[in-house]
Amino acid sequence: MNILETLYENKINFPLLLDRKINIETNKTFLFGPKLSGKTSIIFNYLKDKEDDYLYIDLDDFRYEKEDLVDLQLFIQKNKIKICIIENYTYGFPIPKTDVVILSSIYFIDIENFSSIKVMPLDFEEYLLFDTKHQNTTNSFNSFLKYGNIPEIIELKDYKKSTRNKELIKLYDSNANTIEILKILIKSSGEIKSPFWLFNMLKKNIKLSKDFFYKTIKEFEKNHTIILCEKFNQPKAVKKIFCFNFALIDLVSHKKNFTNLFSNMIFLELFNQNQPVYYLEYIDFYTPHNNSIVISMPFYSTALISRIMSKLLRYIEEYEINKITIVTISNFDTLYIDTIEAQITPFYEWALGK
C-alpha cells in the first residue's frame, strides 16, 4: 500500500471541537497564521460534517516525503476524491484539481482563486466560549491573562499551562540564535524599539550576523508570531512590537512588565477585527476606520490622563475622534475630554462589547 492509499483509508478520529468565529465557506480556501493558532481545528470542524470522501495531507508529517505524493492528482482522479486538505503547504507544491481544496500554512501566500483567512489565537469572546472550567467572566479573564490565548491551553491542567507556553517558544526553530531573537522580540512586546537597537543589544551576548537577524525578524513578522504596529501616517517611524501570545512575555524575563502585557492583550483584540491599528505619540492605539482612540491603563490614574490630555485634545480635533476608551483591569467610570465622552471600562467588558 502506498502513502496516498494509507492517508486516504486512515480517516481522522475527530475530537470534540467548539466552533471559532472563523469558518471555511469557500471551496478554495487558504488558512494562514502562527503555529498553534487553531488552523487545524478549523479544518477538522469543517471536515467532521462531511462524508469520508476526503484526503488529508500534512506536508510536515515525518512519516513521508513530498516525493511520495507525486501521483497526487492521478490518485484523486482515480478515487474520485472531492475534498483535499494540504496542511503546512509550501509555495510551489502542486495544488490538486478537485471540488474542494483547503490549504494551510504559517505564512501568507497569495494563491490565485483562493480566499485567504488569517487565523490568530482566541480572542477573549472565543476564550469565554471555550472555557467551561470557570463559572464567571472574571475568573475566565484571570485565566486568559495568566495563560494566554492558544486554544489548546484551555484543555490543560493549570500546572501544565506555563510549561506548554515555554515549549511554544522552542517550537519555532532549533537554531539557538533564532530563539534568542524571538525572546528579545517577545521581551520588547508593547514597546517602541527599532531592529537596530535590538540587534546591538543581542550582539553583546551572542555572535550574530545582521543579515540573519533582519531575515529572522521578517520571518516572524510574516507568520504573525510578531506583529509590528506602525505610527499613524509615519510608516518609516520606529514600530511598536507585539507578540501573538501575550502570555509568553512573562516567560522570557524575570522582570515582570504587566503594563506591556496588558497593552499587548488589547492590541490583539483590535488586530483580530481585521482593521488597521496604529499608535500615536503618547497614545496607545488609534483605529481610523471608526475614528477611535483606545488607551491601555490597567490601573486607572487621573494623573496619567492629565499627562496626555493635551495630546488627546489635539487628536480629537485633528482626526475628528468620536470615541475614546480607557481599558482597565477593573475600573468603571466616565469622563469628558473636550466634548467626547470617554468610557473607562474593564478589559472583559470592552472586549465583549467592542
**What's the confidence (pLDDT) of residue 40?**
94
**What's the confidence (pLDDT) of residue 102?**
98
**What's the confidence (pLDDT) of residue 159?**
84
What is the secondary structure of 263-286 as a DSSP string? Answer: HHHHHHHHHTTTS--EEETTEEEE
Residue 229 main-chain phi, psi, to 5 deg: -100, 125
Q: Does the pLDDT value for residue 76 go beyond 60? A: yes
Q: Does the pLDDT value for residue 174 go beyond 80? A: no
Burial 333-348 (b: 16+ CB within 10 A, else e): eeeebeebebbbbbbb
**What's the confidence (pLDDT) of residue 96?**
95
Q: Does the pLDDT value for residue 51 go beyond 80? A: no
Higher pLDDT, 297 or 338: 297
**What's the confidence (pLDDT) of residue 133?**
82
Q: Does the pLDDT value for residue 17 go beyond 80? A: no
pLDDT in tens, 240-291: 999 999 999 999 888 888 999 999 999 999 999 989 999 999 999 999 999 9
pLDDT in tens, 140-164: 999 999 999 999 998 888 889 888 8
Q: Does the pLDDT value for residue 1 go beyond 70? A: no
Enter the pTM of the model: 0.92
Q: Does the pLDDT value for residue 224 go beyond 70? A: yes
Q: Could you tell me the pLDDT band of residue 299, with boundaries at 50, 70 and 90?
A: very high
Q: Could you tell me the pLDDT band of residue 132, with boundaries at 50, 70 and 90?
A: confident
**What's the confidence (pLDDT) of residue 167?**
84
Q: Could you tell me the pLDDT band of residue 189, with boundaries at 50, 70 and 90?
A: very high
- Give the CA distances from residue 213 to residues 43, 57, 176, 195, 298, in Å, rounded to whole numbers and listed in that order: 34, 33, 12, 9, 33
Secondary-structure class of domain 121-266 per CATH: mainly alpha
pLDDT in tens, 339-353: 899 999 999 999 998
**What's the confidence (pLDDT) of residue 226?**
96
**What's the confidence (pLDDT) of residue 234?**
97
Domain boundaries, the chain: 3-118, 121-266, 273-354
Range with lowest mean pLDDT among 42-56, 166-180, 202-216: 166-180
Tell me how far apart the alpha carbons of residues 65 and 3 are, in angstroms, rounded to a whole number. 9
Q: Mean pLDDT over residues 17-24, rounded?
A: 87
Q: Does the pLDDT value for residue 172 go beyond 90? A: no
- CB 144 within 8 Å of CB 154: no
**What's the confidence (pLDDT) of residue 207?**
92
Q: Is 280 exposed, middle or buried (0-12, 13-18, 19+ CB in 10 A)?
A: buried
Intra-chain end-to-end CA distance of the chain, in Å: 54
